[in-house]
Amino acid sequence: MKETVSKSWFLPEEDNRHQYNFEFMDLLPLGSYTFSSRLILGTGKYSDIRTMLDAVRASGAELVTVALRRFNREQMEDDLFGPLSEIGGITLMPNTSGASSAAEAVRAAHIARELSGSPFVKVEIHPNPQHLMPDPIETFEASKILAGEGFIVMPYISADPVLAKRLEEVGCASVMPLGSAIGSGQGLKTSGMLDLIIRESTVPVIVDAGLRSPGEAAAAMEMGCAAVLVNSAIAAAGDPVAMAGAFSLGVVAGRRAFTAGLMPKSGHAIATSPLTSFLGKEP
Amino acid sequence: MITIELNGCKQGVPPGSSVSDILALIGSNGKNAAVLVNEKIVRPENRSTVFLHEGDRVEVLVFAGGG
Protein backbone atom coordinates (compact mmCIF):
# COMPACT_ATOMS: atom_id res chain seq x y z
CA MET A 1 0.00 0.00 0.00
CA LYS A 2 1.34 3.36 -0.99
CA GLU A 3 2.02 5.68 1.90
CA THR A 4 0.66 9.18 1.74
CA VAL A 5 1.92 12.09 3.76
CA SER A 6 -0.24 15.02 4.64
CA LYS A 7 0.74 18.14 2.71
CA SER A 8 0.24 20.09 5.92
CA TRP A 9 3.59 18.88 7.16
CA PHE A 10 5.32 20.99 4.57
CA LEU A 11 5.54 24.71 4.10
CA PRO A 12 3.02 26.02 1.59
CA GLU A 13 4.59 26.33 -1.85
CA GLU A 14 4.28 30.08 -1.90
CA ASP A 15 6.10 30.37 1.42
CA ASN A 16 9.75 30.58 0.51
CA ARG A 17 11.01 31.89 3.85
CA HIS A 18 13.33 28.95 4.25
CA GLN A 19 14.59 28.72 0.72
CA TYR A 20 18.27 29.43 0.55
CA ASN A 21 19.31 32.53 -1.30
CA PHE A 22 21.86 31.26 -3.82
CA GLU A 23 22.44 34.73 -5.18
CA PHE A 24 23.94 36.28 -2.10
CA MET A 25 27.11 38.26 -2.63
CA ASP A 26 30.22 36.55 -1.37
CA LEU A 27 32.91 37.74 -3.71
CA LEU A 28 36.50 36.56 -3.79
CA PRO A 29 38.81 39.60 -3.78
CA LEU A 30 42.17 39.21 -5.52
CA GLY A 31 44.15 42.40 -5.93
CA SER A 32 41.80 44.98 -7.35
CA TYR A 33 39.59 42.27 -8.91
CA THR A 34 36.65 40.35 -7.48
CA PHE A 35 35.29 37.00 -8.59
CA SER A 36 31.99 35.34 -7.83
CA SER A 37 33.40 31.85 -8.42
CA ARG A 38 35.78 30.38 -5.88
CA LEU A 39 36.85 27.56 -8.17
CA ILE A 40 39.96 28.30 -10.22
CA LEU A 41 40.58 25.93 -13.09
CA GLY A 42 43.75 24.59 -14.64
CA THR A 43 43.69 23.77 -18.35
CA GLY A 44 46.36 21.05 -18.57
CA LYS A 45 46.03 17.32 -19.24
CA TYR A 46 42.69 17.43 -21.08
CA SER A 47 42.21 14.93 -23.89
CA ASP A 48 41.19 17.72 -26.27
CA ILE A 49 40.44 21.42 -26.31
CA ARG A 50 36.68 20.98 -26.70
CA THR A 51 36.46 18.97 -23.47
CA MET A 52 38.59 21.54 -21.68
CA LEU A 53 36.39 24.41 -22.83
CA ASP A 54 33.22 22.55 -21.84
CA ALA A 55 34.74 21.81 -18.43
CA VAL A 56 35.61 25.48 -17.92
CA ARG A 57 32.04 26.43 -18.75
CA ALA A 58 30.56 23.71 -16.52
CA SER A 59 32.78 24.74 -13.62
CA GLY A 60 31.67 28.37 -13.67
CA ALA A 61 35.32 29.30 -13.12
CA GLU A 62 36.24 32.90 -13.85
CA LEU A 63 39.97 32.58 -13.33
CA VAL A 64 41.78 30.03 -15.49
CA THR A 65 45.44 29.07 -15.55
CA VAL A 66 47.52 28.57 -18.69
CA ALA A 67 51.20 27.84 -19.32
CA LEU A 68 53.70 29.35 -21.75
CA ARG A 69 55.12 27.00 -24.36
CA ARG A 70 57.09 27.30 -27.57
CA PHE A 71 54.96 27.49 -30.69
CA ASN A 72 54.91 24.17 -32.53
CA ARG A 73 53.40 23.93 -35.98
CA GLU A 74 52.84 20.21 -35.47
CA GLN A 75 50.80 20.88 -32.33
CA MET A 76 48.69 23.88 -33.25
CA GLU A 77 45.95 22.58 -30.95
CA ASP A 78 48.20 23.47 -28.02
CA ASP A 79 47.43 27.14 -28.59
CA LEU A 80 44.65 27.86 -26.10
CA PHE A 81 44.54 31.64 -26.17
CA GLY A 82 42.10 31.92 -29.05
CA PRO A 83 39.68 29.22 -27.83
CA LEU A 84 39.69 30.52 -24.25
CA SER A 85 39.04 34.05 -25.49
CA GLU A 86 35.73 32.78 -26.87
CA ILE A 87 34.46 32.07 -23.35
CA GLY A 88 33.07 35.23 -21.84
CA GLY A 89 33.89 36.25 -18.29
CA ILE A 90 37.24 34.47 -18.11
CA THR A 91 40.40 36.06 -16.75
CA LEU A 92 43.65 34.28 -17.57
CA MET A 93 46.23 33.57 -14.92
CA PRO A 94 49.41 32.44 -16.70
CA ASN A 95 51.76 30.31 -14.64
CA THR A 96 55.53 30.28 -14.68
CA SER A 97 55.76 26.49 -14.87
CA GLY A 98 59.02 25.42 -16.46
CA ALA A 99 60.98 28.10 -14.64
CA SER A 100 63.59 26.78 -12.25
CA SER A 101 64.76 30.13 -10.88
CA ALA A 102 63.32 33.48 -9.86
CA ALA A 103 64.90 35.14 -12.90
CA GLU A 104 63.25 32.67 -15.28
CA ALA A 105 59.90 33.06 -13.56
CA VAL A 106 60.06 36.86 -13.77
CA ARG A 107 60.92 36.61 -17.46
CA ALA A 108 58.04 34.19 -18.07
CA ALA A 109 55.66 36.51 -16.22
CA HIS A 110 56.65 39.45 -18.42
CA ILE A 111 56.14 37.45 -21.61
CA ALA A 112 52.82 36.07 -20.38
CA ARG A 113 51.54 39.52 -19.50
CA GLU A 114 52.54 40.75 -22.93
CA LEU A 115 50.52 37.96 -24.48
CA SER A 116 47.49 37.86 -22.19
CA GLY A 117 47.19 41.43 -21.00
CA SER A 118 46.29 39.94 -17.61
CA PRO A 119 47.92 41.27 -14.45
CA PHE A 120 47.59 37.85 -12.77
CA VAL A 121 50.53 35.52 -12.49
CA LYS A 122 50.78 32.20 -10.75
CA VAL A 123 54.37 31.97 -9.58
CA GLU A 124 55.27 28.31 -9.90
CA ILE A 125 58.89 27.27 -9.58
CA HIS A 126 59.53 23.58 -9.07
CA PRO A 127 62.98 22.56 -10.19
CA ASN A 128 62.68 18.84 -9.43
CA PRO A 129 60.36 16.95 -11.83
CA GLN A 130 60.37 13.93 -9.53
CA HIS A 131 58.26 15.59 -6.83
CA LEU A 132 57.40 19.04 -8.25
CA MET A 133 57.73 20.63 -4.82
CA PRO A 134 57.96 24.42 -5.07
CA ASP A 135 61.30 26.10 -4.40
CA PRO A 136 60.53 28.48 -1.50
CA ILE A 137 63.56 30.73 -1.97
CA GLU A 138 63.17 31.31 -5.70
CA THR A 139 59.40 31.61 -5.31
CA PHE A 140 59.81 34.29 -2.65
CA GLU A 141 62.33 36.24 -4.76
CA ALA A 142 60.22 36.12 -7.91
CA SER A 143 57.02 37.02 -6.04
CA LYS A 144 58.66 40.00 -4.38
CA ILE A 145 59.91 41.36 -7.72
CA LEU A 146 56.64 40.79 -9.55
CA ALA A 147 54.48 42.24 -6.76
CA GLY A 148 56.74 45.31 -6.82
CA GLU A 149 56.09 45.60 -10.56
CA GLY A 150 52.34 45.65 -10.04
CA PHE A 151 51.47 42.05 -10.90
CA ILE A 152 48.69 40.34 -8.99
CA VAL A 153 50.92 37.60 -7.65
CA MET A 154 49.56 34.20 -6.69
CA PRO A 155 52.46 32.04 -5.49
CA TYR A 156 52.22 28.25 -5.44
CA ILE A 157 53.96 27.14 -2.24
CA SER A 158 54.39 24.31 0.20
CA ALA A 159 52.03 24.55 3.16
CA ASP A 160 54.46 26.65 5.18
CA PRO A 161 52.89 29.32 7.42
CA VAL A 162 56.15 31.27 7.76
CA LEU A 163 56.70 31.49 4.00
CA ALA A 164 53.02 32.34 3.49
CA LYS A 165 53.32 35.28 5.88
CA ARG A 166 56.52 36.51 4.23
CA LEU A 167 54.85 36.40 0.81
CA GLU A 168 51.89 38.31 2.16
CA GLU A 169 54.26 40.95 3.54
CA VAL A 170 55.90 41.54 0.13
CA GLY A 171 52.55 42.20 -1.51
CA CYS A 172 51.24 38.90 -2.85
CA ALA A 173 47.49 39.00 -3.52
CA SER A 174 47.05 35.49 -2.17
CA VAL A 175 49.03 32.44 -1.16
CA MET A 176 48.41 29.06 -2.77
CA PRO A 177 49.68 26.23 -0.59
CA LEU A 178 49.49 22.68 -1.87
CA GLY A 179 47.08 20.11 -0.47
CA SER A 180 49.43 17.36 -1.65
CA ALA A 181 51.80 16.81 -4.57
CA ILE A 182 50.75 18.12 -7.99
CA GLY A 183 48.60 15.63 -9.86
CA SER A 184 48.79 13.06 -7.05
CA GLY A 185 45.12 13.11 -6.03
CA GLN A 186 46.16 12.53 -2.43
CA GLY A 187 43.85 15.22 -1.11
CA LEU A 188 44.40 17.49 1.89
CA LYS A 189 47.51 15.88 3.36
CA THR A 190 48.61 19.28 4.65
CA SER A 191 45.39 20.19 6.45
CA GLY A 192 47.11 20.94 9.78
CA MET A 193 49.48 23.43 8.18
CA LEU A 194 46.71 24.85 5.98
CA ASP A 195 44.74 25.56 9.12
CA LEU A 196 47.67 27.55 10.54
CA ILE A 197 48.11 29.49 7.29
CA ILE A 198 44.41 30.36 7.15
CA ARG A 199 44.45 31.53 10.76
CA GLU A 200 47.46 33.80 10.21
CA SER A 201 46.76 35.15 6.72
CA THR A 202 45.14 38.42 5.80
CA VAL A 203 45.17 37.52 2.09
CA PRO A 204 43.01 34.79 0.53
CA VAL A 205 44.41 31.29 1.00
CA ILE A 206 43.85 29.07 -2.03
CA VAL A 207 44.55 25.36 -1.98
CA ASP A 208 46.39 24.50 -5.15
CA ALA A 209 47.29 20.95 -6.09
CA GLY A 210 46.53 17.47 -4.88
CA LEU A 211 42.74 17.53 -4.66
CA ARG A 212 40.94 14.52 -6.07
CA SER A 213 37.26 14.91 -5.18
CA PRO A 214 34.61 17.61 -4.79
CA GLY A 215 34.33 16.48 -1.16
CA GLU A 216 37.96 17.47 -0.59
CA ALA A 217 37.30 20.83 -2.23
CA ALA A 218 34.33 21.29 0.10
CA ALA A 219 36.49 20.31 3.09
CA ALA A 220 39.12 22.89 2.10
CA MET A 221 36.45 25.57 1.83
CA GLU A 222 34.91 24.56 5.16
CA MET A 223 38.32 25.07 6.75
CA GLY A 224 38.28 28.66 5.54
CA CYS A 225 40.18 28.48 2.28
CA ALA A 226 39.07 31.33 0.04
CA ALA A 227 39.16 29.22 -3.13
CA VAL A 228 40.62 26.07 -4.62
CA LEU A 229 42.59 25.55 -7.82
CA VAL A 230 41.82 22.27 -9.55
CA ASN A 231 43.24 20.72 -12.71
CA SER A 232 44.06 17.00 -12.72
CA ALA A 233 41.02 15.94 -10.69
CA ILE A 234 38.78 17.28 -13.44
CA ALA A 235 40.92 16.68 -16.53
CA ALA A 236 41.65 13.06 -15.56
CA ALA A 237 38.10 12.24 -14.43
CA GLY A 238 35.98 9.72 -16.32
CA ASP A 239 33.71 12.57 -17.41
CA PRO A 240 35.64 15.83 -17.01
CA VAL A 241 32.69 18.09 -17.79
CA ALA A 242 30.45 16.41 -15.22
CA MET A 243 33.29 16.48 -12.69
CA ALA A 244 33.79 20.20 -13.29
CA GLY A 245 30.15 20.74 -12.36
CA ALA A 246 30.53 18.54 -9.30
CA PHE A 247 33.57 20.53 -8.12
CA SER A 248 31.63 23.73 -8.59
CA LEU A 249 28.91 22.41 -6.28
CA GLY A 250 31.47 21.16 -3.77
CA VAL A 251 33.16 24.55 -3.59
CA VAL A 252 29.85 26.36 -3.16
CA ALA A 253 28.69 23.92 -0.47
CA GLY A 254 31.96 24.22 1.43
CA ARG A 255 31.97 28.00 1.27
CA ARG A 256 28.35 28.23 2.40
CA ALA A 257 29.11 25.88 5.28
CA PHE A 258 32.07 28.01 6.31
CA THR A 259 30.11 31.26 6.25
CA ALA A 260 27.18 29.58 8.04
CA GLY A 261 29.54 28.54 10.86
CA LEU A 262 30.16 24.89 11.67
CA MET A 263 29.01 23.61 15.05
CA PRO A 264 31.67 23.24 17.74
CA LYS A 265 33.25 19.80 18.12
CA SER A 266 32.66 17.91 21.33
CA GLY A 267 34.68 15.12 22.87
CA HIS A 268 31.51 13.41 24.07
CA ALA A 269 27.96 12.78 22.90
CA ILE A 270 25.36 15.49 23.33
CA ALA A 271 21.81 14.21 22.88
CA THR A 272 19.59 15.80 20.29
CA SER A 273 16.42 14.22 21.76
CA PRO A 274 15.23 14.41 25.37
CA LEU A 275 16.49 11.45 27.41
CA THR A 276 14.09 11.94 30.35
CA SER A 277 10.34 11.62 30.89
CA PHE A 278 10.11 8.70 28.44
CA LEU A 279 7.05 6.43 28.61
CA GLY A 280 6.63 6.01 32.32
CA LYS A 281 10.21 6.65 33.33
CA GLU A 282 10.64 9.14 36.16
CA PRO A 283 11.66 12.64 35.05
CA MET B 1 70.64 32.86 -46.35
CA ILE B 2 71.41 33.69 -42.76
CA THR B 3 71.10 31.27 -39.87
CA ILE B 4 69.03 32.13 -36.81
CA GLU B 5 68.04 30.04 -33.82
CA LEU B 6 64.27 29.63 -33.85
CA ASN B 7 62.72 28.07 -30.75
CA GLY B 8 66.02 26.35 -30.02
CA CYS B 9 66.62 25.01 -33.56
CA LYS B 10 68.88 26.33 -36.31
CA GLN B 11 66.88 27.81 -39.15
CA GLY B 12 68.02 29.33 -42.44
CA VAL B 13 66.09 32.44 -43.47
CA PRO B 14 66.56 35.00 -46.28
CA PRO B 15 68.65 38.04 -45.34
CA GLY B 16 66.46 40.99 -44.40
CA SER B 17 63.70 38.82 -42.92
CA SER B 18 61.53 40.57 -40.36
CA VAL B 19 59.89 39.03 -37.31
CA SER B 20 56.60 39.06 -39.24
CA ASP B 21 58.28 37.07 -42.05
CA ILE B 22 59.41 34.46 -39.52
CA LEU B 23 55.91 34.15 -38.09
CA ALA B 24 54.52 33.61 -41.59
CA LEU B 25 57.27 31.08 -42.27
CA ILE B 26 56.32 28.92 -39.32
CA GLY B 27 52.57 29.24 -39.89
CA SER B 28 51.69 31.42 -36.93
CA ASN B 29 49.26 34.26 -37.43
CA GLY B 30 51.13 36.01 -34.63
CA LYS B 31 47.92 37.10 -32.95
CA ASN B 32 48.15 34.57 -30.15
CA ALA B 33 51.92 34.49 -29.91
CA ALA B 34 54.58 36.39 -27.99
CA VAL B 35 57.89 36.89 -29.79
CA LEU B 36 61.30 37.44 -28.28
CA VAL B 37 64.46 38.28 -30.19
CA ASN B 38 67.62 37.82 -28.17
CA GLU B 39 65.45 37.68 -25.02
CA LYS B 40 63.73 41.00 -25.72
CA ILE B 41 59.99 41.10 -26.36
CA VAL B 42 59.06 42.39 -29.82
CA ARG B 43 55.60 43.92 -29.61
CA PRO B 44 53.10 43.19 -32.42
CA GLU B 45 53.30 46.74 -33.81
CA ASN B 46 57.08 46.40 -34.27
CA ARG B 47 57.24 42.94 -35.83
CA SER B 48 57.37 44.12 -39.45
CA THR B 49 60.18 46.58 -38.74
CA VAL B 50 62.45 44.42 -36.59
CA PHE B 51 64.86 42.59 -38.92
CA LEU B 52 66.88 39.53 -38.06
CA HIS B 53 70.61 39.06 -38.23
CA GLU B 54 72.95 36.09 -38.31
CA GLY B 55 72.86 34.22 -34.99
CA ASP B 56 69.78 35.97 -33.59
CA ARG B 57 67.82 33.87 -31.11
CA VAL B 58 64.07 34.00 -31.77
CA GLU B 59 61.45 32.54 -29.46
CA VAL B 60 57.80 32.27 -30.45
CA LEU B 61 55.61 31.40 -27.48
CA VAL B 62 51.92 30.59 -27.06
CA PHE B 63 49.63 29.61 -24.21
CA ALA B 64 49.18 25.89 -23.73
CA GLY B 65 47.26 23.94 -21.11
CA GLY B 66 48.64 24.20 -17.59
CA GLY B 67 47.53 24.09 -13.99
In a domain, B19, yes or no: yes
Residue A98 CB contacts under 8 Å (≥ 6 apart), including other chains = A67, A68, A69, A104, A108
Question: Nearest residue on chain A to B26, judged by CA atoms?
Answer: A73
A89: Cα within 13 Å, side-chain hemisphere: 12
B2-51: pLDDT as tens digits: 999 999 999 999 999 999 999 999 888 888 899 999 999 999 999 999 99
In a domain, B67, yes or no: no
In a domain, B14, yes or no: yes
CATH number for position B16 = 3.10.20.30
Q: How close does chain B come to A193, measured CA to CA in Å?
A: 22
**Averaged pLDDT score across all residues of chain A:** 90
In a domain, B53, yes or no: yes
Give, in words, the CATH class of A26-259: alpha beta
In a domain, B42, yes or no: yes
In a domain, B27, yes or no: yes
The residue among A40, A70, A91, A120 with the most chain B CBs within 10 A of its CB, best to mutate, is A70
Contact list in B for residue A84 (CB cut-off 8 A) is: 63
| Segments in chain A forming alpha helices (H) | 49-59, 81-85, 102-116, 136-148, 161-169, 191-200, 214-223, 232-235, 240-260
Domain containing B16 equals 2-61
Number of domains in chain B: 1
SS3 state at A205: strand
Identify residues of A whose CB sits under 8 angstroms from chain B CBs.
Answer: 42-46, 52, 65-73, 76, 78-82, 84, 92, 94-95, 97, 107, 110-112, 114-116, 182-183, 209, 229, 231-232
Q: CA angle, A29 as apex, A26 and A34 as ends, to 5°?
A: 80
User: Would you kindly state where each structural domain of chain A is located, as residue ranges?
Assistant: 26-259
A2-43: pLDDT as tens digits: 444 444 444 445 554 445 555 556 899 999 999 999 999 999
Residue contact A65–B31, C-beta within 8 A: no
In a domain, B41, yes or no: yes
Q: What whole-number distance in Å separates Cα of residue A49 and Cα of residue A250?
A: 24
